[in-house]
Structure 1
């Protein structure tokens, strides 16, 4: 009588063993770095094109070194400098070579300011003499060698200085710098965040001139944040932040002559003269402009300046003669919506130049002569150039990355400036990205797809031929095998007349005869992409955790996202949050029609722009979404900065309905589902003001919701256990509410 019982017990035990073979991922594993990919260290090509350098750190001693490696073999050939040999410093955090690579700027004691800016102690290391010289006893910004490396220019307390390395003399170039008023040579907050640069000065190729931008931010309103810390009284962080429709910094271009030690302001032409007798700049006036890029041309006395109107739909490329400060508009580009700023402008030896533009409906490469006359449209087609790598004068080739093999994929190509002899240099379908040696002999290709973590390989630039494999992540694949993760399935879904890119992750034991709750993730910001043929990021492991618990996770890139042409991207112009939300609601409804998805249990989440979207989705789509999580969301574009917001929305004065009709604050009475809103209290980018206003509107509408504030944390909400806590919070909310 006992035999059947024993047999059943044996079968159950065997079943348990088989079940146990599939490991379940945990949040602790995800955020402790268990699934971290090996990445190729940031490398810098030496001018010889045969070698590259890497900043290495000895974990035991803390010493740092700049080591040289051969592209061809990958073997270390020598060490240029090791902090162990320097009495003055224990280690350095970064480095910059001089033009001839005979001197190096070493940065230490780095103190971050905002996303890209920092203050540092800099030293100059002489490669030949092995001597070390401190640039300043103060923490300074953006130290930069002159072309002959005899001088270093830098910014201290909003003023530009030049140190003569031969005699030690220090020259103060500007003297009117003042905190929260005048900035010389580095950018203000909004330029740094939205135009993606900090250093706003450039040596000319002979070292005789220094062009720089001045920011007068005296009229820009101040924003303040309480930082609670651990002291008895909180501190207050106050900085200039121009919200949409408010005053920007008044920007001006200046030219400093090193020999005479005199600066002169550059008159950018009649187009930008003050529109009235008032000395103050009025919003939208002719002189209410941006100067998002300055760059010296192949002529050492000719500076190129990109000048953009406040509406960001009219861009001038202006040449400035540094001898007499005369200016000439060489190229003008306009758009019914907006013109994007890039770093692709490249000057050839004859001062003709490479330019990228969306003017034919897709982003492509153009070649102009020195007078701005079009020579050739280099690339064309219903696909996008997604990265411009540079021009090889020796081979007369342009190298670029594009979506010619589909908007979720990337490939690397070479082409002649006349548009002929195009060659695909990568052969694997997925995301390919190249880093070229200085002389374009080699490129290192980074490849990934949904099934393959990053693989780094070395190739010949002339034909793409493989030289060697540098690094792969097979160990990671071996590690994740025991978890039996579900594949990330790429597809498209037809929504509102468009085939939208989509990925889906299903439970590993998926049964099409069952019904599953659906969680949607999206970002949806203009020109962004969340659906690509690439391997898991950190959030994807979280989605695998949720899939193991019986959820289907989906991401759909709706209208307004990138890499499918200008019309697809710019349809959201002046209507942020309208078409993108419509697409997410429609996608959820269409997915809810599938027999394996429970249409009554559909949730959505997002961060930043994605938090704005998820908030709108649960309000405008209250019959579709039963749950939403919004992390660090914009809740009204009136609260966000001028450059980003007005590029896509115009000013609130011009477009009040666009701002208010699609603001979650205007729809709180529609809340029916479960809503969690989260923010960092020290977010200098999307201010916690957004969440506080949303909370107050929900309270006054008598709507119940959940919320969390992470004290003093910035837009990324990280540090210590913060991310683990955050994802535990969100996971528990999803498990309980969806």
Structure 2
């Protein structure tokens, strides 16, 4: 026997022995927390630039601890919940600007995706005194810049608590459920513009700007809640579907000293929506980002709070839509940083305070994916981008002039950063398909590693005891585009065998599923399917997904579900040409937009797909909310064919394969109405299918054993039909 043959046999024996010692992933392990990673919770860089705080939770309570950046040693404990009997469960914390006070949250009650009601306390760091903000549960309490006042929302009105006198005064009185909301966003703003606190303090703490929402004319949506009582209840809230009336919004500034409120006249601008307000470095100048109903024009307006006049500073236009971000940053001279896709890729721009372009800071056929900040001392800007490939993320710094760029991260995968207050250090979070979350302290000047904070080695060792297959990244050329893709093959893959193909995707505008990142719950499930059911998993990011330039992302405009479905069908057909793929066994699944897609693929690609699973799908964009849908589709009145021709409901007659349809009955986002209307269409087309409704579960379909039950159902459906 030749030496090379001996070595090969020894290697194969070692691999088979290792595999024999490894366990198969189970649904109980996935949903029982077996693969939970360690994180840095409520990370906050202290003003001194030398220390940071973290919220540490344990079985015996929670602490807010301060650590030294350089040494990593715990310096002190700011808060110990065991010493605060009033705070029965410390859930979050926020510092005042001077860090002398902390806002502690407990007894939080979720409202919608981002909003909650809670009981809040102000903790004085020096005196260790605890002050309850309100006897009632409140929303979005927020320190004034001097830390002496807190503004918050309650019962659709705004209140201010003076922490020096203890006095609380109400600054609006017209708030009414399902009618008027002051300073807190309505449902659709919260979901689609991604913010809840619609008020902001100026630098001096003597003015509070806020948005008022008049949702009187917005149609009501009612959800039955079955609960545990004899009679169900209803949750009734205002939900503007595509083409329906939205809240009428107005901008107001309250003067603390005079007690007067002024409404700002924005009629001269595109002010159908007000998706952002933010005070500049000038205590009398407020910025407001305004947009029209189509969201293809954004006006950046500066409001002079002395005479309450507004001036257009910058206008951004796009043939499709303009994304709203949180990247607007004001420098000391009130010049500002702005990000834009106007050259075809998302990049950083610097404007003076009058809106005159100083320069474009970043350039290239890649995307800036996060803006971290500007160091006033060194003149360097810190950001995250796709310069190392669209499936990867790296951290960079660059001078405001656009020169002397430095790549700070050195590992290929997903890197993100949290900088110290003085930009001396940053905590880098790195992960890829082979490495769980790795937290390191690095020098901001050059990225040099100082120390490892958390390496999740315990999780890595645990994962190594399970049978896992690597994600194989590549591209697939379909419909004239090279699309990002990964495959997961069974661990004992045999190229001479034929395997079923099971595709996973989301496909929504600007989204990404194919990324060089650590595993989420669905990834573990896909690994389980690949290695226990001998299935090949494929994921393809088609046209309309993100991080490959403006044109690639926005080509699905007015036709959601057309090009994305074409790409998934074409990718499935091309993969089925491979000798190890069984072309007669092709499935696809997705959640939300992905459920819309999987339904369409099965119906419209009946000769390509044999089965599909759709969880919480949109089944017609006519049923979905105004801001999201109209951003990409305009209104149903303007674009009826775009809405109907790409709706799964319009293609039920084509169904041939096996179909599982799942929804939560209390989904406030994608209403169960979507599934019920599709069910009725399928029934009238005399099409057989399987379906499940999870009572009182929202868009996430979770709680107790719900996820375990759902994934067991989906696993069994795959076993039986693929």
Name the TM-score class by shorter chain: over 0.9
Distance 1:22 1:85 in 2: 45
Give the alignment's TM-score, normalised by structure 1. Answer: 0.94
The residue aligned with 2:338 is 355
The residue aligned with 1:489 is 472
Distance 1:678 1:418 in 2: 52
Alignment of 1:419-568 (within 5 A): 419-548=402-531, 549-568=533-552
User: Is 1:692 aligned to 2:690, yes or no?
Assistant: no
Distance 2:178 2:202 in 1: 29
8 A contact 1:41–1:54 mirrored in 2 = yes
SS for the counterpart of 1:270 is coil
Tell me the alpha carbon deviations over residues 71-108 of structure 1, each in whole angstroms, 9 at most, x when there is no partner: 11221100112222234333422111111111111122
The residue aligned with 1:145 is 143
Relative to structure 1, the CA distance from residue 205 to residue 16 in structure 2 (aligned partners, 3 Å threshold; closer, same or farther) is closer
Tell me the alpha carbon deviations over residues 441-493 of structure 1, each in whole angstroms, 9 at most, x when there is no partner: 11111111222222111100011010001111333332233334111100000
Q: State the Cα distance separating 1:537 from its structure 2 match.
A: 1.6
Distance 1:538 1:269 in 2: 48
Structure 2 residues without counterparts, runs of 5 or longer: 1-13
Q: State the Cα distance separating 1:188 from its structure 2 match.
A: 0.3
8 A contact 2:269–2:290 mirrored in 1 = no
The residue aligned with 1:37 is 37
The residue aligned with 1:342 is 325
Distance 1:657 1:353 in 2: 42
The residue aligned with 1:366 is 349
User: Is 1:650 aligned to 2:630, yes or no?
Assistant: no
Q: State the Cα distance separating 1:269 from its structure 2 match.
A: 4.2
Q: State the Cα distance separating 1:112 from its structure 2 match.
A: 1.1
User: Is 1:679 aligned to 2:679, yes or no?
Assistant: no
Relative to structure 1, the CA distance from residue 127 to residue 493 in structure 2 (aligned partners, 3 Å threshold; closer, same or farther) is same
Distance 2:15 2:192 in 1: 56
Q: State the Cα distance separating 1:561 from its structure 2 match.
A: 0.2
Distance 1:103 1:42 in 2: 16
Q: State the Cα distance separating 1:33 from its structure 2 match.
A: 1.6
612, 615, 622: which is aligned to 1:638?
A: 622
Give the alignment's TM-score, normalised by structure 2. Answer: 0.96
SS for the counterpart of 1:559 is coil
Distance 1:228 1:701 in 2: 30
User: Is 1:610 aligned to 2:608, yes or no?
Assistant: no
The residue aligned with 1:666 is 650
Tell me the alpha carbon deviations over residues 187-208 of structure 1, each in whole angstroms, 9 at most, x when there is no partner: 0000001111101111110011
Relative to structure 1, the CA distance from residue 475 to residue 151 in structure 2 (aligned partners, 3 Å threshold; closer, same or farther) is closer
Distance 2:466 2:198 in 1: 49
The residue aligned with 2:4 is none
User: Is 1:620 aligned to 2:604, yes or no?
Assistant: yes
Q: State the Cα distance separating 1:123 from its structure 2 match.
A: 1.4
Distance 1:209 1:19 in 2: 65
Q: State the Cα distance separating 1:70 from its structure 2 match.
A: 1.0
Distance 1:625 1:270 in 2: 52
Relative to structure 1, the CA distance from residue 536 to residue 86 in structure 2 (aligned partners, 3 Å threshold; closer, same or farther) is closer
The residue aligned with 1:270 is 268
Q: State the Cα distance separating 1:20 from its structure 2 match.
A: 4.0
Structure 1 residues without counterparts, runs of 5 or longer: 1-13, 273-286
8 A contact 2:366–2:547 mirrored in 1 = yes
Distance 1:105 1:477 in 2: 35
The residue aligned with 1:99 is 97
Distance 1:232 1:102 in 2: 50
Distance 2:381 2:669 in 1: 36
The residue aligned with 2:234 is 236
The residue aligned with 1:47 is 47
Tell me the number of residue pairs that the alignment of Structure 1 and Structure 2 aligns. Answer: 708
SS for the counterpart of 1:248 is coil
Please say which of residues 160-169 and 475-484 is displaced more in the overlay: 475-484
8 A contact 1:269–1:327 mirrored in 2 = no
Q: State the Cα distance separating 1:38 from its structure 2 match.
A: 2.4
SS for the counterpart of 2:196 is coil
The residue aligned with 1:85 is 83
The residue aligned with 2:130 is 132
Distance 1:547 1:87 in 2: 49
Q: State the Cα distance separating 1:16 from its structure 2 match.
A: 11
Please say which of residues 162-171 and 114-123 is displaced more in the overlay: 162-171
Tell me the alpha carbon deviations over residues 681-706 of structure 1, each in whole angstroms, 9 at most, x when there is no partner: 11000000000000000000000000
User: Is 1:122 aligned to 2:106, yes or no?
Assistant: no
556, 560, 569: which is aligned to 1:572?
A: 556
Distance 2:88 2:713 in 1: 41
SS for the counterpart of 2:523 is helix
